[in-house]
Amino acid sequence: MTARVPHSPFDQRAEHGLDGLNFFLADVRDGLGPYLAIYLLSVHHWQPASIGVVMTVAAIVGLLAQTPAGALMDRIHAKRLTLAIAAILVTASCLLLPWTQGFAVVASTQALSAVAASVIAPAIAAISLGVSGPRAFARRMGRNETFNHAGNVVAALLAGGLAYLWGPTVVFYLMAVMTLASVVAACSIPAAAINDAQARGSAAEPEGVAPPSPGRLLLHDRRLLLLAACSCLFHLANAAMLPLVGQKLSLSSPALATTLTAGCIVAAQLVMIPAAWLVGTRADQWGRRPLLLAGFLILPIRAALYPLSDAPAWLLGVQLLDGIGAGIFGALIPIMVSDLSEGTGRFNVTLGAVSTVFGVGGALSPALAGFIVQRAGYDAAFLTLAVIATAALLLAWRVPETRGVPATTRT
């Protein structure tokens, strides 16, 4: 079946609204990300282990909220309003950081940010599925991620340039501006263009005709469990890499650390744009599995290359590889989850459950890397992450193709 082509004014407004939403939320949905490590290290002179613990605490709180956030998206109709509130809360919690430096307060603000941010990804996925339907979802997710990465490029360039002129705290205020623009974009999506049954993975029928199947049945899907497990290892290896690069840059070039880290982000995001576009245009023709394996293959190579040099040019060059792996991963995982949950009415809670599992890896990664750095140095940390990334690739090899398999035949 071919993808539905937008033809009505509602369709066009919804498509363009989603484009804008993904573009402007790029600087909001992950909070401060690697800038948090740079800010705490360069402004408040925190130790790497303390920075890692704060990031891990926030990540753990956020991952505990992933499944409830997905369940919320399966139940509510006010998806646009919920998304706008979440974006505002993320920004407000980050804007408190310049006014405090205590460990408990910083950890609390980042935990609040993580809870609010956990709503953003399932909300975007739900709205996208509700607008496009399952047959055009791969195309829509590829387009979402393309605009998301483009937004990250623009935000990182602005952050790097403005931080060079006015210091690292400028990233907080840039986030506030992007948040306001994302709220406007969310409001531009017509509510009538979002099919709530489709948005939760049900057949496009009136509510009450086909009640959602019990979510616990999805736990018995071997494909889903394998996908979640290898994704967990992927994030355990990947999540700490950019913060570690940022810390190395802070030590070698303190005055340029934020600007150079922004350069790392821009380099990766520029590669993520065509990678996400490739997933959106080829996932239905090539299948999901070849793209998944390509994304996982890049990660151990990237981790093994970082220790070869501390030169900023080398670190920026290696960071380009992040664009391939992360670009494929970000666009492909929601598509595969949609394959595995189609017709169940549990798409968002399933995506939240998978996100929780791989979020465990992302939560543990900064703390693990931080402690290794303090005891054995940065090279040892990168090589440890390379070993974990290799294990993720081997497990991903066991994930079968998910395209076009009816939910009732999966075991």
Q: Is the pLDDT of residue 2 over 50?
A: no
Band the pLDDT of 5: cuts 50, 70, 90.
very low
pTM: 0.75
Strand, helix or coil for residue 1 = coil
What pLDDT, on a 0 to 100 scale, did the predictor assign at position 6? 46
- Alpha helices for 167-221 (secondary structure H): 170-187, 196-199
User: Which residue's entry shows tokens 């790029």?
Assistant: 26
User: Which residue's entry shows tokens 């706008």?
Assistant: 84
pLDDT digits (tens, 9 = 90+) for 72-118: 888 888 888 888 888 888 888 777 777 777 777 777 887 888 888 88
d(C-alpha 327, C-alpha 325), whole Å: 6
pLDDT digits (tens, 9 = 90+) for 266-276: 777 788 888 88
Q: Which of 31-40, 42-51, 175-184, 228-237 has the highest mean pLDDT?
A: 228-237
31: left (phi over 0), alpha (psi -120 to 50) or beta: left
pLDDT digits (tens, 9 = 90+) for 310-362: 777 787 788 788 888 888 988 898 889 888 877 777 788 888 888 888 778 87
CATH of domain 11-196+217-409: 1.20.1250.20
pLDDT digits (tens, 9 = 90+) for 234-258: 989 998 888 788 777 776 666 666 6
Q: Which of 15-19, 33-37, 153-157 has the highest mean pLDDT?
A: 15-19
Tell me the one-letter amino acid at 232.
Answer: C
Q: What is the mean pLDDT of residues 194-213?
A: 61
Q: Is the pLDDT of residue 220 over 80?
A: no
Burial 108-117 (b: 16+ CB within 10 A, else e): bbbbbbbbbb
Domain residue spans of the chain? 11-196+217-409
What pLDDT, on a 0 to 100 scale, did the predictor assign at position 411? 40
> What does the block give as tokens for 102?
């205590």
